[in-house]
Amino acid sequence: MSEVNPPSALADLSADAALALFASGELSPLELTHDCLARIERFNPRVNAFCHVDADGAVAAARASQARWLRGEPIGPLDGVPVTIKDLTLTSGMPTRKGSKTTSAEGPWRVDAPIAARMRAAGAVVLGKTTTPEFGWKGVTDNPLHGITRNPWQPELTPGGSSGGAGAAAALNLGLLHQGSDAGGSIRIPCSFTGTFGLKPTFGWVPQWPASAMSTLSHLGPMTRSAADSALLLSVIAHPDTRDGYAGPACPIDWLAAPPSELTGMRIAYSRDLGYVSVAPDILRAVDAAVEELRALGAEMIEVDPGFASPKATFDTLWHAGASRLLDGLSAAQCDLLDPGLRAIAEHGKRLTLTDYLIAREARAALVAHMADFHRRFDLLVTPTLPLAPFAAGHEVPPGSDYVDWVDWTPFSYPFNLTQQPAASMPCGLDDQGLPVGLQLVGPRYRDDRVMAVACLLETRLPRLTPPMAHA
């Protein structure tokens, strides 16, 4: 696997490599944590990936991990690995403000959500909280409380959202494992725009508590520089928690299973545009080239669309209905503090009728059935992750475009939140501007193993991307 703009030393370390160095004594968790904190101090003013850094807590956790490794007694599979948590996820000892001035800085912050608890129990060193748009409502990352998050590839551009802070942190390796959430593309969008890997797992396999306002659209998952590191994090977090009222069956997948050496016998559908999306030609060239690598690995590649019309109206109804719940309990003065775009869709959600909502639920069920039938014929579906390049930060849509809202330019991601399928974005090259391009791998529900196996194998044939800022 070749490297574009390769960095060096600790700035390029994977979680797997770090754990091996801890075991051999060649590197200590404290040394790695200090390096991450120093690079956060250096880069965060330029990208605004973190809204909270807990340097003292991280150093204390790393020192405790170092002592365990010296005794030969690591407490779990992430012992000493620096990680980050999105600012929508409750984290004991750290504020969870959700990018909103309507929240209080006072806390108390005494509870870990399941994903934070599992990471800590596995020995992870939590560096801090990453930025999100207010309540994670849109596909870019800026909010009234913490300002604009920027793309490490070009700081004037957006890293996408809503897990934009995690995407920027992952691209610069400011921490080795990053938690994202995805209710309409919020893991895959920033992974595409920042040249990183992320998976939206099958709904319910990574527990989510408290429940998202977007309920069964929202998935939690990893964002990392490699598929292998995402698999490591999933091995820790994809376990049931009784607090999650939407939880599905226990996940049977061995996330750490070795990938195949070839894809012979696998039948993969490739849709360049879903049959209705306008995609930039340079993005298609990069995705086409990655598809040829899949073919070279032995997969049978069939160019075919999945055969559904745009489900935007269905998604908008469910999304706006979820947003409307955010207004409950807010005073008029607090509503005035909201991002105007969030307030607008929430107020529209209040005007939806029960019939509107049930019609959307029925359309969603039909789409689930349609994709289940599609996957009886195809093991996976491959698409571009996004149809366009990163655009100016601080805007919901590209300035001067015909797009009305963020859902207009994310047509490849949100359909698979409606269907609750596993979907990953992985970097597959650069566009004509030298910016990252993402390829999306979509699997049938409960077959995340197929997605991850193909991703782990394919990434060995594709360039690894590192933003030029890492060398600045």
- Active site members: 86, 162, 186
How many alpha carbons lie under 13 Å from residue 13 in its C-beta half-sphere? 25
CA 417 to CA 381: how far, in whole Å? 15
Among the listed residues 321, 300, 351, the one whose alpha carbon sits nearest the alpha carbon of residue 454: 300
Among the listed residues 179, 88, 189, the one whose alpha carbon sits nearest the alpha carbon of residue 127: 179
**Percentage helix, strand, coil for the chain under 3-state DSSP, each rounded to 5:** 40, 15, 45
- Sign for the pseudo-dihedral over CA of 41, 176, 12, 72: positive
The conformation of residue 424, written as its DSSP 8-state character, comes to: E
CA 438 to CA 388: how far, in whole Å? 10
Structure tokens at 358: 């049930």
Q: How many CB atoms lie within 10 A of CB 468?
A: 12
CA 246 to CA 358: how far, in whole Å? 19
**75, containing H or E segment:** none
Q: Is 26 helix (H, G, I), strand (E, B) or coil?
A: coil
The partner residues of 303 in beta bridges, in order of sequence, read: 270
How many alpha carbons lie under 13 Å from residue 42 in its C-beta half-sphere? 15
Classify burial at 376, counting beta carbons within 10 Å of its beta carbon; exposed 0-12, middle 13-18, buried 19 or more.
exposed
DSSP per residue, 209-264: SSPPTTGGG-EEEEEESSHHHHHHHHHHH-S--TT-TT--SPP---TTPPPPS--T
* Angle subtended by helix axes 29-47 and 55-71, to nearest 10: 160
The partner residues of 104 in beta bridges, in order of sequence, read: none
Among the listed residues 72, 180, 54, 73, the one whose alpha carbon sits nearest the alpha carbon of residue 125: 54
Name the amino acid, one letter, at 385: T
